[in-house]
Structure formats: C-alpha cells, structure tokens
Amino acid sequence: MELVLNPEESAFQKEVRDFLRTSIPPEIKRKVDLGLKLVKDDYVVWQKILHERGWIAPSWPKEYGGPGWSPVQRYLYEEELAAASSPRLITFGLKMLGPVLVEFGTDEQKARYLPRILSSEDWWCQGFSEPGSGSDLASLSTRAVRDGDHYVVNGQKTWTTLAQYADWIFCLVRTSTEGKKQAGISFLLIDMKTPGVTVRPIKTLDGGQEINDVFLEDVRVPVDNLVGKENDGWTVAKFLLGHERFGIAGVARSKKQMERVREIASKEMKRGRPLIEDARFREEMAQVEIDLTALEMTELHLLSEQAAGRKPGPESSILKLKGTQVQQAITELLLEAVGNRAAVFDPAILDDDWPGPGNDGPAIPEHAATVASHYFNWRKASIYGGSNEIQRNIIAKAILGL
C-alpha cells in the first residue's frame, strides 16, 4: 500500500493541473464556483477544449479516442477537474453510451456516433425511466413495433436530464411482451429531431429546469439504430448502469465543496467571530470529512483492485450510496453555514447570466445566493442512477447473498 504519488504520477498530476487551471474560461469557473446555472454553451465550450487536448473521454479505450490512462491517472484527473472548477462533464455520451457502443455497437455505429460524442457535436440524453417505471425499470412500457426498416415508437420517458439540449436520446423500449419483463426490452438510438418527439420541461423544487418529460408519438426509428440484439436491451442497460462506477461517488467534487464550506464559514459570523471558529460547526465539518475520507479510501481500494486486474464487482454500489449521502451532507453544511439568509431568494439566479447581488435583486452575499437551491436540487442524488434503496437491494442480494 502506497498513498504517496510516484514521480510519474506527480508529473502527470502537474501536467493536468497546469493545463486545466490555465484553460478553464473564467466566466465558466465563476459559475461553477458560485453554483450558478450553466447553459449548453458553457458545457460545450469547455468539453471542446478538453477534446482538443485529447482528455475528454478518460475511460475510453485508446483506439476509440481515449487517452490510455491507468485507473490512478483517471482518479488524479477527476481530482484536478474538480479542483479547477470544471463543470461536470455531460455523462450521457461520454460515460454511458460511449462504452456501450464500444462493447455492443456495430462498426458503423461506432464510426458514426463515437467521434461526435468526443467532439461534443452530439448531445445525448438518457431515455430509461417512465412514469410507471422508476425503480422497477424493467416494467417499462414504451413500445417499439417493427414496420419494415423502421421501429415505430410510442410512449413516454421522464426525468430526462437536459433533454432540452439533446440532439439524440438512447432509449429502452419494449419490443416484446413475451416471457419475463426483462426479456422483451431493446436499446434504441433516437434522433430528437424525428417527428413525434416532444420535450416538456419539468420544473423542480428549486425553481430549476434541468429535467423533462419526453413524449414519443409514432416516432419512426431506422432499425440500424438498434444497439445489441433485439430483446437483449436489458443486457446493454445492465452494462451501462454497472460500467464506470468510478467517479460515481463524486469524491473529488465533494472535496472541492468542502473547501467552499470552509470559505463560507470563514465569511459568515457568529457571536462576533467567524463561524469557522465555532467548535460545534467545526465538529460537523470534521464528521463529514471523516465520512468523505472513508469513502475516498474505499474508492481508492476498489480502483487499485481494478488496476491489479480484478474486475469491479457490486461493491461499487457502496460508492453511489455513500457518495450521495456525503454530497447531501455537504449541502446541509452549506445551508447551515449561511444561516438566516438561506431563505433569501433572488429569482435572477435561475437566469442564464446572474450579474451578482445588489442590482435590482435582494441584498444577499454572492456566496449565499445558490446555497438553498443547491440543497433542494441535490435531493435528486439519492434518487437517480438507481435509488439508494435499490443499491441496498443490490448489496443484499449480490454481496450478502440474501
């Protein structure tokens, strides 16, 4: 066991750090630091910069455009991305569909879609959940009926993150009602511009609009857009959900957020002293840091096991579950730190470009403006990606044998 970086790892870390810190556009960095809304351009501009450097898809095999990094290098890269205030890279193409196509796609599909994911020319979204199929995903009922060279798709997808920006959606659809519910599912790529595709935003409790309903009405999809075999989509979906669990814990971002807690607690006052000098608040921070460090070490262990050639198992469910708990605990610390001004709501923070406090809006310190909305927004984390209760079911079954 060695926790100190070796000279090559240190050199790599420095190279990555130097590039990311000098390349991130300041206006994007400001938005990320303050938790402000990012628009499509912010993501795309930044992702294109990373693409030019060859670093946009760390987990992809080299032959498809990945940088060929080791698990440790990928871990260090994640750390530096967060430290440099990088926006989250949009995962749907990079971490979900990309690996799926590498594993299951035809040569034509790989050639057609992978380069456009790398270059951020195509924005993908994920069509899994339906109004009647949340945790019980396999019960999904969006139908795809074969009609010559096409499937005709009818149904509704929901909770579709950033569908309003998307060019394409990958969908789980039902192609058969025979046998077990998992057996009749297929994995289909649908162009969002196809007639019959309608996106309707869902306003969330923080006032934001990042999730959507996607309605599919007699949408004609070429059969070439099927990934894997017909009725074998559940295998593809399981691969997608189980792949690339590293980073799912969000350790690097949580570390960055803990810095934000410190900064805010240094500015906020309690009884005439900075909050950060308050023993009780410091103990709360210490507690979250314990949990965060324990999570990081568990991830590092799993990552080292992977580097040693052992396949990641269902243990990664721990990362999702405990990772989101830590993330949510940090949103609570932030909320607590800003005190009574947590309640102040400046609707302008929902706009594409918030100029900062003090114009026509309420007088709220810049650091406090998004804290409450972030807290509310982040309740999603323990729900999405297989709710934390589903993760417990996985652990109970696959690890404890219950």
Residues near another protein, by CB under 8 A: 1-6, 9, 72, 75, 262, 266, 276-277, 279, 282-283, 285-287, 289-291, 293-295, 297-298, 300-301, 303-305, 307-308, 315, 318, 321-322, 389, 392-393, 395-396, 399-402
CA distance 213 to 196: 13
**237 token code pair:** 């979906």
Antiparallel, parallel or unpaired: β 273-274 and 185-191: unpaired
Q: Which is nearer to another protein, 87 or 312 (CB)?
A: 312
Q: Are 217 and 156 in contact (CB under 8 A)?
A: no
Q: Catalytic residue at 78?
A: no
> Is 169 within 8 Å of 142 (Cβ atoms)?
no
Residue reference for tokens 């990311």: 20
Contact 319, 397 (CB under 8 A): no
Give 209's Cβ-side CA count (13 Å radius). Answer: 14
Nearer to another protein, 281 or 375 (CB): 281
To the nearest whole angstrom, how small is the minimum distance from the Cβ of residue 306 to another protein? 9
- Shortest CB 396 distance to another protein, Å: 4
Distance CA 209, CA 201 (A): 6
The distance of closest approach from Cβ of residue 50 to another protein in the complex, given in angstroms and rounded to an integer, is 23
Which residues have a Cβ under 8 Å from the Cβ of 147 and sit 6 or more positions away?
220
183 or 307: CB nearest another protein: 307
Give the total residue count for the chain: 402
Token digits of residue 99: 């690996």
Quick one: 186 or 298, whose CB is closer to another protein?
Answer: 298
Smallest distance from another protein to CB 224, Å:
42
Rg (CA), the chain: 22
Smallest gap from Cβ 301 to another protein, in A, equals 5
**Mutual orientation of helices 71-83 and 251-267 as an angle, nearest 10°?**
30
Rounded Cα distance between 300 and 203, Å, is 37
What's the CA gap between 230 and 139, in Å, rounded? 17
To another protein, the closest distance from the beta carbon of 267 in angstroms equals 12
Q: How many CB atoms lie within 10 A of CB 359?
A: 9
CA 157, CA 378: separation in Å to the nearest integer? Answer: 21
Cα(3)–Cα(56) distance, rounded to whole angstroms?
26
379 within 8 A of 204, measured Cβ to Cβ: no
* Nearer to another protein among residue 175 and residue 298 (C-beta): 298
Q: Which is nearer to another protein, 65 or 314 (CB)?
A: 314
Q: Which of 79, 130, 210, 244 is catalytic?
A: 244
Nearest to 69 by CA among 82, 81, 56: 56
Q: Which two tokens mark 123? A: 């924005």
Please, what is the minimum distance in Å from the beta carbon of residue 217 to another protein? 38
- The neighbouring-strand residues paired with 270 are 273
Q: Quote the least distance from Cβ 135 to another protein, whole Å.
A: 12
CB closer to another protein out of 1 and 343: 1
**CB closer to another protein out of 83 and 307:** 307
Give the tokens for residue 235: 């295998």
> What amino acid positions are annotated as catalytic residues?
244
